[in-house]
Amino acid sequence: MSKANGNFNRTQYRLGFFLLLAPIVLWLSLLIILPHIDMVLVSLRERIASRQYGFSFSNYTAFFTEPLYWNTFVRTAVMSIVATVLTLLIAFPVSFYIAKVLTGRPRIALFILCLLPFWVSELVRTYGWMILLRETGLISGALQWFGLADQPVEMLYNDVAIMVGLIYTSMLFMVVPLVTTLDSLDNSLIEAGYDLGGSSWNVMRSIVIPHAMPGIMSGCIVVFMLTLGNYLTPTLLGGKSSLWFTEQIYTQFITRFNWEQGAAFGILLLILSSLIVWLGLKITRQSFTRVMS
C-alpha cells in the first residue's frame, strides 16, 4: 500500500519535473538547435540547377579565397575585441564607484542613470549619436562657433564613430555584472589590504581584480557577443565603409538571395565567437561555469 503510494508520488514528481523542463527544452530545440542544424545543412549545399542542390564545400572555400570576406571577418573580430576591452576600462571605475564608494540613494540613482539610455530603442540611441556627430551636427557646429574649425567637420562614417557607438551600446552589460561581483567583495578585505601596507594599486591588483575576475569575464563575454553580432550600430555610424561581418551576412541573405553563402557566414561567425570566448577564458584561467554562475 505504502509502496504504491510512494510510486505514485514519484511518478507525480517526475511528471512535474518534465513539465517544468518542457519550456526550456522546446525553446532550445525549436528556436536554437533546429535552425542551426538546418543552417549547417544549407551552408553545405550548392545550387546546381533550379531547385537542384548538391553537397559541396564551395561556400566555405569562397570565404577563404575572397579577400573581402576574409578581411571583413578579421576586422570585425579585432574591432569587437577592442570595443570589449575599452568598455571594460570605462565600466570598471564606474562600477567600482557605484559598488564600493557610494551608498544609499546616490548609489541607486547612479545605477539608474546607467540603465536609463536603455529605455529607448537602440535605433533611437544611434540616431542620437548621428545628430551629434554628423557634418551639420552639434559638435561640428560647436567647433565652428568656437573657431576651432573653419568648415563643417564630418565625424560620422569612420572607425572611431563605430567604436563610440559600440561602447555606448554595450556599457550596461558590462556595468551590471561588475557591480554585482564588486558588491560581493567584503569591504574588510580592502581595508586589510591597506592595513598590511598595500598601496591603492596593490589593493586593486591583488585583491579587487582577482575577486572581480568572474564578473569581468562574464561582462566581457556578453559585450563581445553583442558587439560581434551587432548590425545596426556599425551600419548607421560606419556607413558603407563600416565592413562589419553581419552586413555581409545580411547582403547574402537579403540582397543577393544567396542563402547558402549567408548560412556559411553565419556558421563561421558562430565558430569565431566560440573560439575567442574559449581563448579568453583559457588566458585568464577562468572556468565557464564559474563565470556564468
Binding site for other proteins (CB under 8 A): 186, 188-189, 191-199, 202, 206-207, 210-211
- Nearer to other proteins (CB atom), residue 117 or residue 198: 198
Start-to-end Cα distance in the chain: 43
- Nearer to other proteins (CB atom), residue 102 or residue 153: 102
- Nearer to other proteins (CB atom), residue 202 or residue 274: 202
Query: What is the C-alpha to C-alpha distance for residues 177 and 183, in angstroms, rounded to an integer?
Result: 10
Using DSSP's 3-state secondary structure scheme, residue 53 falls into strand
* Run of H or E residues at 279: helix 259-284
Closest CB 6 distance from other proteins, rounded Å: 38
Query: What is the C-alpha to C-alpha distance for residues 197 and 192, in angstroms, rounded to an integer?
Result: 9
Closest CB 188 distance from other proteins, rounded Å: 4
Closest CB 177 distance from other proteins, rounded Å: 18
Closest CB 291 distance from other proteins, rounded Å: 15
The answer to whether 151 and 135 are in contact (CB under 8 A) is no
Query: What is the C-alpha to C-alpha distance for residues 45 and 74, in angstroms, rounded to an integer?
Result: 25
Q: What's the grid cell of residue 21?
A: 523542463
**String of DSSP letters for 74-136:** HHHHHHHHHHHHHHHHHHHHHHHIIIII--HHHHHHHHHHHHGGGGS-HHHHHHHHHHHHSTT
**Is 128 buried (19+), middle (13-18) or exposed (0-12) by CB count in 10 A?**
middle
Closest CB 198 distance from other proteins, rounded Å: 5
- Nearer to other proteins (CB atom), residue 79 or residue 212: 212
Q: What's the grid cell of residue 55?
A: 553537397
Closest CB 284 distance from other proteins, rounded Å: 13
Query: What is the C-alpha to C-alpha distance for residues 288 and 96, in angstroms, rounded to an integer?
Result: 23
Query: What is the C-alpha to C-alpha distance for residues 251 and 248, in angstroms, rounded to an integer?
Result: 5
- Nearer to other proteins (CB atom), residue 123 or residue 192: 192
Closest CB 220 distance from other proteins, rounded Å: 19
- Nearer to other proteins (CB atom), residue 99 or residue 162: 99
- Nearer to other proteins (CB atom), residue 66 or residue 191: 191
Phi and psi dihedrals of 14, rounded to 5? -70, -35
Q: Is the dihedral of CA 274, 80, 75, 36 positive or negative?
A: positive
- Nearer to other proteins (CB atom), residue 14 or residue 205: 205
Of 101, 211, 110, 232, nearest in space to 166 by CA = 232
Q: What's the grid cell of residue 121?
A: 530603442
Closest CB 281 distance from other proteins, rounded Å: 17
